[in-house]
Structure 1
């Protein structure tokens, strides 16, 4: 288990470090202004759909169905074809009407800003097609408990964007954002190529070839139907966090210039411990727990949950302490250069502190919701996510009035706390208290202390 967690975490670490390098360079070249807001807004749309359809909801629905399938090759290819046709059609639609979709992102922006952003939206959206291929191939690799390729592959996206920034440093801002948009597509192509190589090395090409060859002779309608029944609730469950981020970006467009960028850069820092710790652990555990539950071995599933719970709680607790106390020095060290000045540092640090309040609740909610998905309780997880989204939106509207962008971040943390409590209730308070009884030690003290300081 720990080997899988380490390889996944190490791959994510490299990816996030290069991502931070990319963002540091971007802040130096573009700063936090109109053009940075335009680019981030254009990239927001494909990111929203990528996280909803391609990553979380797809994997969490596909994996249990794939494990239970008696005709894995045919089932996998059938699902891939259906999704790919839909995503390509959606991409063509965005390309034909980019202004309409851009207006959905920033309804408060005027005609001039929309006209500048629309062509970038059309270019960036095609990244979704590439990243779905990556996600599908990554799900097959996860079933083989190979995580490094998927965790590492985002490095190619970051490198492509860094190269674009270096090559066009002295160009005008409009040229830079166009170069960044095309570099995103180049990075996506490199990610696909990396996964195809890993699929070949793992001996999974026969799964794809066999599934394509026999797709018309094997009946997998029942398995597809089961997948669809899981996928829709999974979309709802996984989309709420992304919808909240999407709405926060739109609400930030009503605030002072640069607010969209403050949210983006602070969230990038927040996502570093969340991804390296919470996502790495839950992603590595999901196939193990899903297989154990599918085989009726609840004891093994609980054992894996127990080990990961304490590790997650300790590491996230330490991260919260560091993130809260060192927010301003972190932002200063990473971003304050070029067009990114001291005022931008202070504003971004305030947003980061509010994000860090929710790190432990978000991380533990991710762990226990993964347990629900492994049990095929996608609908219950979806209901919890919708409730937390509503709470998040209510507090966003209230807190942005007095706290600005930092209020939007704090509202997200409040929604994460609500999701954590409701997820524990759905999994069972008995299981949660059994976990607490097993090892009431320094781990729990560190986690509780971290959350207490963050809340204060």
Structure 2
């Protein structure tokens, strides 16, 4: 793993999340936490779900090993692009035609009026999906060229587009604001496609695809085996990578039965939770995957384990600090970012409570991202899919047990429970003997001392904030 790649990914994610928090700050101030914000987040749920599934490694972890192994890379890439893009466009057309039933599936607790209003924005925003697939496809090819910067920093364009929409729609009626924001999502997707096409041209990837398209009609059978291998791994990989996103989707489904604002509490808290997860776990996993995959392919398991061990301790340290800080400063974080305008003190306290429950699962979810790479590098996507299924089953059982008595907080706690289920199974599959080799006493001492020192400092700052800021 190149440290430069880690910092590139982290830098891009950090910049995007900074703009994302500005976006959410403005959203909270303009829309608040009510039925209109719930409608926007419901409409944004499907494209955001697919963005995370495709964009945060699931597609690349299936596509890249098959692409690297293919003898006819140009034809294989062209075939995958055309097939997927065609299916996604047809799916978008179906959602456009049947927006109301789709909205009922996403948020069955909405009343008929809210469902009808939300369906309009669901249909518009779903067209973000074909755009983000093109971005993901070219992002995977750029990873093959060991270029990470474009994909890492292009994510900020979506947030910039939505911020622009919020500025343009300030002072308008709530429904008009929702319409402007929905089209802003599509503008953000188009901008991401544009910068990826520019960079793909610079790396001569467009020329490569052009050759593939030209040969596809007469030579498609040459990549038939490569394509079968890709699809065999792709669907388990998508399922194995998307557990957290599916749970967030189900959060919305169940929260639609709770009091107004519950969907927004989950959304804002999950946005905070996703920052350290993306900044550390996803960025490191993205940078580490090509290196581990290549070592596994060349039968260098000891070298792959060294890379994994290095990543393990980096993640354990960073995620532990993030969990500690987030738990202590949960109220202060929500207060600082969102408590203004239509976002009240009660909204802050409710969102902070949800955030704390999410943060309890930061370590298992983050470290799970790392250890799942071992399975994908060894083409064991089906094992990852089975683990994801057990994790989702654990979430469903906990969510249905907790969402009525605990509300949105119970749904966040159910998500954390599923993270521990997934992490435990990943550890068992990875092998406890290998994991024991990761453990070094000096690292344990450093970690414990760092957390103790940081905890004391953070608690002192927390008490000062209570005393002088009244948070």
TM-score where L is the length of structure 1: 0.96
Whether the 8 Å CA contact 1:168–1:179 is kept in 2: the answer is: yes
| Offset of residue 359 of structure 1 | 0.4
What secondary structure, in the 3-state scheme, does the structure 1 residue paired with 2:139 have?
A: helix
Structure 1 gaps, min length 5: none
Distance across 1 between alignment mates of 2:146 and 2:230? 21
What secondary structure, in the 3-state scheme, does the structure 1 residue paired with 2:239 have?
A: helix
| Offset of residue 438 of structure 1 | 7.6
Relative to 1, partners in 2 of residues 1:376 and 1:438: Cα closer, same or farther, differing over 3 Å? farther
Relative to 1, partners in 2 of residues 1:388 and 1:443: Cα closer, same or farther, differing over 3 Å? farther
Distance across 1 between alignment mates of 2:97 and 2:205? 37
1:226-262 CA distances to partner (integer Å, 9 max, x unpaired)? 0011012112212322221111111111111100000
- 1:63 aligned partner: 64
Instruction: Tell whether 2:226 aligns with 1:223.
Output: yes
Distance across 1 between alignment mates of 2:117 and 2:81? 34
- 2:159 aligned partner: 158
- 1:42 aligned partner: 43
| Offset of residue 113 of structure 1 | 0.8
Aligned CA-pair RMSD? 1.7
Stretch moving more, 207-216 or 332-341: 207-216
TM-score where L is the length of structure 2: 0.93
Relative to 1, partners in 2 of residues 1:300 and 1:61: Cα closer, same or farther, differing over 3 Å? same
Distance across 1 between alignment mates of 2:446 and 2:14? 22
- 1:249 aligned partner: 252
Whether the 8 Å CA contact 1:318–1:446 is kept in 2: the answer is: no
Relative to 1, partners in 2 of residues 1:207 and 1:448: Cα closer, same or farther, differing over 3 Å? farther
1:84-95 alignment runs, 5 A limit? 84-95=85-96
Distance across 1 between alignment mates of 2:56 and 2:358? 22
Q: Say how many residue pairs are matched.
A: 452
- 1:429 aligned partner: 432
- 2:411 aligned partner: 408
- 2:31 aligned partner: 30
1:93-130 CA distances to partner (integer Å, 9 max, x unpaired)? 01111101111101122211111001100000000010
- 2:469 aligned partner: none
What secondary structure, in the 3-state scheme, does the structure 2 residue paired with 1:220 have?
A: helix
Whether the 8 Å CA contact 1:316–1:447 is kept in 2: the answer is: no
Distance across 1 between alignment mates of 2:271 and 2:450? 22
Stretch moving more, 189-198 or 143-152: 143-152
1:351-403 CA distances to partner (integer Å, 9 max, x unpaired)? 00000000011000110011111110000000001101111111111122222
| Offset of residue 64 of structure 1 | 1.2
Instruction: Tell whether 2:58 aligns with 1:82.
Output: no
Stretch moving more, 351-360 or 295-304: 295-304
Stretch moving more, 78-87 or 242-251: 242-251
| Offset of residue 433 of structure 1 | 0.8
Relative to 1, partners in 2 of residues 1:191 and 1:166: Cα closer, same or farther, differing over 3 Å? same
Whether the 8 Å CA contact 2:296–2:304 is kept in 1: the answer is: yes
Structure 2 gaps, min length 5: 457-471
Distance across 1 between alignment mates of 2:37 and 2:141? 36
Whether the 8 Å CA contact 2:12–2:155 is kept in 1: the answer is: no
- 2:273 aligned partner: 270
Whether the 8 Å CA contact 2:54–2:136 is kept in 1: the answer is: no
Give structure 1 regions of 4+ aligned residues with deviation exceeding 6 angstroms: 446-450
Relative to 1, partners in 2 of residues 1:293 and 1:253: Cα closer, same or farther, differing over 3 Å? same
Stretch moving more, 432-441 or 207-216: 432-441
